[in-house]
């Protein structure tokens, strides 16, 4: 059976983390946080807390990746720690709902910004979104080397544009340092602190969301036992620095009391930087950021279906590699086909929201699996620093996040879990026998 080729180096691996995570959230989240928290110090604290959570998770995923440097990421870790039924439920969820939903959402989001700037009609926006899905699918079907090149350079361009915003705004004195005062005390009229902190933490977490997806490419990373942990940590640290610095630049450019919405906040920052042309400039930055996320996500997601198919827990076609490019082309096509249907259907944001609780839960279970795997014995080439403190930090913060998500949208969280659980009869009735047959062959 053909195997994936290890062609991804450290730079591309770190670019996958940064490229997927830094998306449109950096232009919308700081506004909401500045308005609700009412204190620059609290905004900084929430970003750093979320960065600490992501870093602790990345350190744990680094050991998991070193133990199992294969395609599939979280699917593989859940399979090894808890067994195939739970791993199948994760794959069932990401294939049917999460991956096509997020792909469609990113494509439509980028197309909407382009459509606004170019005055496209709704049909034109939808056509552009569909073309975007097909284009990134074609790139990734062309092989991991081509896909990695696109992700790497989109990430470089994205970071260069954000650094230009920082340098241009601060060096030319286009803002006002008084916007940071008072730095510690909250502004008068700010909402209740508890709710503001909870909302800020949830928003910041989702702005960091996706750092774990690099692990799905574990079968194609060179020297994975060293490269994967280093790329995960470097990527998360870079994202944290970008979020803190960009938020500071936005507050410097626009007084928090002028904030009415995230979109207005970005437009006001653009106007402060470049006058009337600022809105167009920010549109270009957002489009680059979102397309970078789309390219990275489309690159990593199909590896889960590939790994499941290798275990006989998915359609066999997903395990086949293109003999010319070495890519799991059919798995890529499956994701693109479902995403295209959702683009045409036009309803996916609400569907995705039902599964955010489940996504956080699966990542949490993957990190908790580190305790299970360590009890079974055996050292990895990379061991999580400060174990067991590091996974405990992540699990405590993740438990708090799960509580906030369940308390804020209990029906959505419950409905998402029910749909995930519906995969169990599918597993036992359709795939269990095939999987056991594969074990017998092995």
Q: What is the pLDDT of residue 2?
A: 66
pLDDT digits (tens, 9 = 90+) for 119-149: 889 899 899 999 999 999 999 999 999 999 9
Q: Which domains does the chain have, with CATH numbers?
A: 10-435 (1.20.1740.10)
Q: What is the mean pLDDT of the chain?
A: 89
261 pLDDT band (50/70/90 cuts)? low
Residue that has been written with the tokens 């269990």 in this structure:
432
What is this structure's pTM? 0.91
Q: What is the pLDDT of residue 437?
A: 45
Q: What is the pLDDT of residue 380?
A: 82
Q: What is the pLDDT of residue 423?
A: 93
pLDDT digits (tens, 9 = 90+) for 360-416: 999 999 999 999 999 987 788 899 999 999 999 999 999 999 999 999 889 888 988
Q: 65 near 229, Cβ under 8 Å? A: yes
**3-state DSSP of 38-94:** CCHHHHHHHHHHHHHHHHHHHHHHHHHHHHCCCECCHHHHHHHHHCHHHHHHHHHHH
Q: 47 near 240, Cβ under 8 Å? A: yes
38 pLDDT band (50/70/90 cuts)? confident
pLDDT digits (tens, 9 = 90+) for 164-200: 989 998 988 988 898 888 888 888 778 888 988 998 9
Residue 441 has pLDDT above 60, yes or no: no
Q: What is the pLDDT of residue 442?
A: 46
Which is more confident, 118 or 87? 87
**How many percent of the chain have pLDDT more than 90?**
60
Q: 371 near 391, Cβ under 8 Å? A: yes
Q: What is the pLDDT of residue 27?
A: 78
pLDDT digits (tens, 9 = 90+) for 210-250: 999 999 999 999 999 999 999 999 999 999 999 999 989 88
Q: What is the pLDDT of residue 97?
A: 86
Residue 440 has pLDDT above 50, yes or no: no
With a CB cutoff of 8 Å and minimum separation 6, the contacts of 97 are 351, 352, 354, 355, 419
Between CA 104 and CA 61 the distance in angstroms is 27
pLDDT digits (tens, 9 = 90+) for 44-103: 999 999 999 999 999 999 999 999 999 999 999 999 999 999 999 999 999 988 899 899
Q: What is the pLDDT of residue 7?
A: 92
Q: What is the pLDDT of residue 264?
A: 67
């Amino acid at each position: 059976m053909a195997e994936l080729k290890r062609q991804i180096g450290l730079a591309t691996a770190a670019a996958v983390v940064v490229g997927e995570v830094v998306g449109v959230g950096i232009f919308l989240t700081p506004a909401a946080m500045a308005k609700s928290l009412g204190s620059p110090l609290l905004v900084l604290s929430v970003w750093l807390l979320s960065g600490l959570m992501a870093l602790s998770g990345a350190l744990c995923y680094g050991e998991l990746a070193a133990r199992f440097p294969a395609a599939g990421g979280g699917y593989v870790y859940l399979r090894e720690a808890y067994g195939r039924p739970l791993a199948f439920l994760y794959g069932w969820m990401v294939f049917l709902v999460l991956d096509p939903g997020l792909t469609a959402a990113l494509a439509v989001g980028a197309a909407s910004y382009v459509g606004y700037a170019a005055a496209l009609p709704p049909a034109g926006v939808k056509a552009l979104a569909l073309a975007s899905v097909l284009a990134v699918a074609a790139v990734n079907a062309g092989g991991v080397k081509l896909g990695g090149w696109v992700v790497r350079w989109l990430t470089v361009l994205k970071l260069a544009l954000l650094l230009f915003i920082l340098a241009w705004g601060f060096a030319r004195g286009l803002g006002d340092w008084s916007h940071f005062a008072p730095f510690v005390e909250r502004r008068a009229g700010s909402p209740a602190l508890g709710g503001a902190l909870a909302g800020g933490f949830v928003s910041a977490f989702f702005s960091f969301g996706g750092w774990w997806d690099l692990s799905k490419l574990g079968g194609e990373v060179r020297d994975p036992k060293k490269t994967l942990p280093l790329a995960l940590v470097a990527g998360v640290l870079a994202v944290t620095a970008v979020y803190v610095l960009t938020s500071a630049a936005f507050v410097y450019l626009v007084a928090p009391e002028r904030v009415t919405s995230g979109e207005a906040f970005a437009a006001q920052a653009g106007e402060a930087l470049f006058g009337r042309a600022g809105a167009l400039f920010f549109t270009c930055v957002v489009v680059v950021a979102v397309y970078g996320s789309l390219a990275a996500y489309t690159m990593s997601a199909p590896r889960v279906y590939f790994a499941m198919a290798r275990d006989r827990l998915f359609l066999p076609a997903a395990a086949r590699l293109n003999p010319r490019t070495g890519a799991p082309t059919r798995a890529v096509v499956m994701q693109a086909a479902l995403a295209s249907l959702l683009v045409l259907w036009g309803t996916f944001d609400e569907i995705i929201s039902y599964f955010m609780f489940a996504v956080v839960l699966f990542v949490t279970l993957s990190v908790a699996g580190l305790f299970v795997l360590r009890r079974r014995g055996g050292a990895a080439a990379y061991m999580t620093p400060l174990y067991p403190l590091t996974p405990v930090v992540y699990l405590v913060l993740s438990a708090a996040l799960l509580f906030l998500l369940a308390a804020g949208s209990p029906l959505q969280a419950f409905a998402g879990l029910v749909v995930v659980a519906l995969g169990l009869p599918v597993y036992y009735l359709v795939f269990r026998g095939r999987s056991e047959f594969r074990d017998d062959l092995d």
